[in-house]
Chains A and B, each alone.
Chain A
Amino acid sequence: AQSVAQPEDQVNVAEGNPLTVKCTYSVSGNPYLFWYVQYPNRGLQFLLKYITGDNLVKGSYGFEAEFNKSQTSFHLKKPSALVSDSALYFCAVRDFNNNDMRFGAGTRLTVKP
């Protein structure tokens, strides 16, 4: 069965610095990978997804993610963090063998001024 791991519960970065939120996955087929963000008192907002093609995927709010098949990773990145990026980030995966979307436990990102 497919699964997702977000190894860090919490990530702290200073405003203006680059940020990375890590995600690794396990699937039996080709993975379809998603990143969502949850701001306080809001629902999950879609950031980006990888389906096929270019390993570097660009998404909303200046975020991007790099698909690495050999390392089974899909880390979320942003070159310069903003305080407003502070939120809870979820990585998710689907594959051909399973209809449901599997989520990681989430990573809380805090960007300090």
Chain B
Amino acid sequence: EAGVTQFPSHSVIEKGQTVTLRCDPISGHDNLYWYRRVMGKEIKFLLHFVKESKQDESGMPNNRFLAERTGGTYSTLKVQPAELEDSGVYFCASSLAGGLTDTQYFGPGTRLTVL
């Protein structure tokens, strides 16, 4: 069974540019999560999709970040325009159920560098 995949693995852009990250969850997982790890700090929650609906987007830092999950399959996270502080590793995770005890399975992450 394929795990969670993310594309690209690395992205280097200049401040003010736009970047779109993609996540493909494990097949059949309705729940999809985005997280971010900045500068070696803790991994922070960004948002949670249940199928195509945003269940919780309380962790999104500001309106420069836009997440979508059209059709309830893969998800994209767009940063527009990117700022220096957006640099970090963006992780995607998926789970079969969305309960608090359900295990989330993570992708390899996308390392974003904003110059």
Contacts and interface: CB of A to CB of B under 8 A. Distances in A.
B108 A32 contact: no
Interface string A18-61: 00000000000000101010000111111001010000000000
B81 interface: no
A94 B100 CA distance: 6
Contacts of B105: 46
Contacts of B49: none
B107 interface: yes
Interface stretch (A63-71, A73-81, A96-104): A96-104
Contacts of B64: none
Contacts, number: 60
Interface residues of A, number: 25
Chain A contact surface mostly:
strand
B103 A49 contact: yes
A105 B45 contact: no
Interface string B98-115: 001101111111000000
Interface in B74-115: 91, 93, 100-101, 103-109
Contacts of B108: 41-43
A90 B43 contact: yes
B44 A103 contact: yes
Interface of B: 3-4, 6, 33, 35, 40-45, 48, 55-56, 58-59, 91, 93, 100-101, 103-109
